[in-house]
Structure formats: C-alpha cells, structure tokens
C-alpha cells in the first residue's frame, strides 16, 4: 500500500539535521548512479512555469519525481513568485517498483513555518549539505543578504549546522530587514542584527548566504575576507532571456567572488551548463574560471573533492538548483517517519 501524506502532517517529525543527512545521502549516491537523476527541467510560457526534478537514490531505495507549477513576476532587476500551486512528490520504492508515497506540499523542517511559507523548504537543506562540508567548523558570524522565505530558512539551517552566535541581515528595504530580525529572533539563539549596507553582511563574517531575488550581484569579491564561505542560490532566467523578456542572465555574485574562491562547488555543474546560469557561465566566458574548476556536490560529499584546504581558504557553494536525488531522499525520510508515526492515508 502507498501512503498519501499532506506535508503539514509531518510538522515536528523531521529535524533540519535529519533532512540534511538524508539529502547528503541522496547526493552521495549520484557518484555511483550519475544518470539516475536528471538536471531539473523547466517548461515556460511567458511567466507560466512547470518544473520537474526527477531522480532516484539506490541506497535509500527510492525514485520518482518532484513537480511544481507557478506564475512568477519578473522585472529587469529581480524575480519573485506570483501564483504558486502546491508542490507534489511522487515516489516509488526503487527495488520492488511499488508506489511508495505521494506527498502534497513541502515538508516543514523549520521552527518558523507560516502558511505563506509552504513551498521550497528543501532549498536551504541542500545549501546546508554543501555548507556543512565547506564552511569552517568554528564559523560564528553569519551574513545574510535577503529577507524573504529563503533567507528565513537559510538562517535556521545555518544555525543548525554551525555554532552561529551573530547574524547580520541586509536587504534593500530597512523595514524588511528589521521585520526579518524581529520575526526570526525567537527561533534562533544567535543575535540578529539588521545592517544598512550589503558589505556589512559580507565583511568580517564567517559565512555569507545570498538568498535574494536579485538579478544583479549583491556580493562582491573585494569584500571577502580569508576563511569565509559563500553560499548563493539564484539560478537562471534562461527561458526569459530566450523569449526576449529580460536582457541579462541572473547574477548574485560578481566575477571576483569566483576568481577569489579557492574551492567552487555547485549542486550540479550540468545544471549550470544546461541553464546557462549567469553566476557560472559568465565567469567562464570571461576567462575567470573554467567549467573544470567547478565541482559537483556529489563529489564533495563523497570526499572526491576537498571542501577547504585550510582555515584561510575562501570557499563557494553555488547552490544552483535542488535536484531529484535530494527530493527523493527526503521523500523516503518523510515516508518512513510518517509510517512510524501512523500518519498519512493508505491507498
């Protein structure tokens, strides 16, 4: 019998670190089964967007698809979500072929999970998989650029994997960054401080998270100090570019960030190539890096590439898109937790 699970029924059942561990196992399996997970596929008509993340993880005995649909808003400067449908996991038992679980919605991993927060809870988990392998163990000061959904989730995820005591938050609106600190302060032990300039969230910090809707760089290489780790999540607008609706690929980092990074890891390099993602493609085109300089998350988590050589290295995780293997690893975890707790409807 398969299970139908409403994601909200999972509240309180899955911790951030359990989710990070599961997603790490998913990516580790990609090394042995690299074509059991396809890069994320998108289909567009103007601002209508279907996205499909398919893949499987043999060690966890799970395979399937995660699908979502939305209408998004875009300007030359930034991109944001408009109408958003409930996201759905369809997962199979990869060994006996049976349907395992259909999960409607994104699992609630976080302490603060308001109704408007129901989508894309997985992104900060994937960011934490890479960051846990790359940031210094003693990282205490976190700078966050952005004050929206992903910024809130990345705050909780980063605080779960490192002993963060101070967080500096920048977004363009003083009201938004102040509200972010007020709303999120009860949910983390670290002290949250709104800052007035983007460089205040990037200089003299141990970890920088870029979680913005920006189309232009928000962090510049000249601001980076030795030992810092940078995570950035903006992906591509290739289809908008193809349709002539915007004029430039999205960027969250300038070329100097990539030039200064001693180690660069992407969730999936092939995704960056397929989507012509500005933060990777433009530095390659500009001769700042080569595609070979960018390593896959699967290689990082299996120790095939080193996360950092020393406490002085600058490291970069371009979390350039969640992948089917990660979603399916989470589906397996959610299914097993739901079974153990007697949650969900058998069908």
Ligand X SMILES: NC(=O)c1ccc[n+]([C@@H]2O[C@H](COP(=O)([O-])OP(=O)(O)OC[C@H]3O[C@@H](n4cnc5c(N)ncnc54)[C@H](OP(=O)(O)O)[C@@H]3O)[C@@H](O)[C@H]2O)c1
Choice between 55 and 235, CB closer to ligand X? 235
Residue 231 in the binding site for ligand X (CB under 6 A): no
Residues in contact with ligand X, shown as a per-residue x/- string from 93 to 132 under the rule CB under 6 A: ---------------------------x--x---------
Stretch that binds ligand X, among 16-24, 85-93, 208-216, 336-344 (CB under 6 A): 208-216
Choice between 155 and 164, CB closer to ligand X? 155
Choice between 202 and 338, CB closer to ligand X? 202
Taking each helix axis from N to C end, the angle separating 149-161 and 123-134, rounded to the nearest 10 degrees, works out to 40
Q: Among 259, 245, 335, which residue's Cα sits nearest to residue 48?
A: 245
Provide, rounded to whole angstroms, the least separation between the CB of residue 65 and ligand X: 16
The residue number with the shortest CB distance to ligand X is 148
Choice between 30 and 79, CB closer to ligand X? 79
Stretch that binds ligand X, among 89-97, 189-197, 210-218, 280-288 (CB under 6 A): 210-218
Residue from 173, 185, 204, 286 touching ligand X (CB under 6 A): that is 173
Q: Among 324, 222, 220, 306, which residue's Cα sits nearest to residue 267?
A: 324
Residue with tokens 């949910």: 187
Query: What three-state secondary structure class fits 263?
Result: strand
How many Å is the maximal CA-CA distance in the chain?
Answer: 57
Alpha-carbon separation of residue 129 from 19, 20, 52, 122, 339 (angstroms): 9, 6, 21, 11, 25
Query: What residues contact 35, with CB distance under 8 A and at least 6 apart?
Result: none
Stretch that binds ligand X, among 27-35, 62-70, 229-237, 256-264 (CB under 6 A): 229-237
Show the tokens assigned to 220. Answer: 């510049």
Provide, rounded to whole angstroms, the least separation between the CB of residue 10 and ligand X: 19
Provide, rounded to whole angstroms, the least separation between the CB of residue 155 and ligand X: 11
**Which residues inside 135-154 make contact with ligand X, applying CB under 6 A?**
145-151
Residue 103 and residue 119: Cα distance in Å, rounded? 13
Total residues interacting with ligand X, rule: CB under 6 A: 28
Choice between 25 and 251, CB closer to ligand X? 251
Choice between 145 and 155, CB closer to ligand X? 145
Q: Is 274 exposed, middle or buried (0-12, 13-18, 19+ CB in 10 A)?
A: middle
**Which residues inside 55-84 make contact with ligand X, applying CB under 6 A?**
78-80
Residue 124 CA, chain-centre distance (Å), reads 4
Residue 275 in the binding site for ligand X (CB under 6 A): no
* Cβ atoms 67, 90 nearer than 8 A: yes
Provide, rounded to whole angstroms, the least separation between the CB of residue 172 and ligand X: 3
> φ, ψ for residue 192 (rounded to 5)?
-95, 130
Return residues touching ligand X (CB under 6 A). 78-80, 120, 123, 145-151, 171-173, 176, 211-214, 218, 233-235, 319-322
């Amino acid at each position: 019998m398969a299970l139908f699970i409403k994601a909200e029924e999972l509240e309180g059942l899955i911790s951030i670190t359990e989710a990070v561990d599961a997603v790490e196992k998913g990516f580790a399996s990609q090394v042995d089964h690299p074509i059991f997970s396809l890069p994320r596929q998108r289909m567009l008509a103007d601002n209508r967007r279907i996205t499909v993340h398919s893949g499987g993880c043999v060690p966890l005995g799970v395979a399937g698809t995660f699908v979502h649909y939305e209408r998004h808003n875009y300007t030359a400067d930034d991109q944001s979500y408009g109408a958003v449908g409930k996201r759905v996991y369809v997962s199979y038992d990869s060994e006996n072929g049976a349907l395992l679980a259909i999960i409607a919605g994104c699992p609630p991993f976080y302490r603060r999970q308001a109704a408007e927060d129901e989508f894309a809870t997985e992104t900060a988990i994937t960011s934490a998989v890479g960051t846990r392998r790359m940031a210094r163990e003693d990282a205490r000061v976190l700078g966050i650029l952005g004050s929206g959904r992903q910024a809130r989730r990345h705050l909780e995820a980063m605080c779960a994997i490192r002993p963060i005591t101070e967080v500096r938050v920048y977004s363009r609106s003083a009201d938004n960054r102040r509200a972010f600190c007020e709303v999120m302060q009860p949910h983390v032990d670290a002290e949250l401080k709104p800052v007035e300039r983007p460089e205040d969230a990037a200089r003299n910090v141990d970890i920088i998270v870029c979680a913005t809707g920006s189309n232009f760089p928000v962090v510049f290489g000249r601001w980076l100090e030795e030992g810092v780790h940078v995570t950035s999540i903006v992906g591509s607008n290739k289809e908008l570019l193809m349709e002539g609706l915007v004029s430039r690929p999205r960027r969250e980092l300038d070329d100097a960030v990539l030039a200064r990074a001693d180690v660069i890891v992407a969730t999936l390099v092939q995704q960056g190539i397929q989507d012509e993602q500005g933060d990777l493609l433009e530095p390659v085109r500009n001769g700042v890096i080569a595609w070979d300089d960018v390593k896959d998350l699967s290689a990082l988590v299996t120790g095939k590439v080193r996360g950092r050589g020393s406490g002085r290295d600058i490291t970069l995780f371009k979390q350039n898109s969640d992948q089917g293997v990660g979603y399916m690893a989470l589906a397996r975890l959610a299914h097993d937790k739901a079974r153990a707790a007697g949650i969900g409807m058998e069908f």
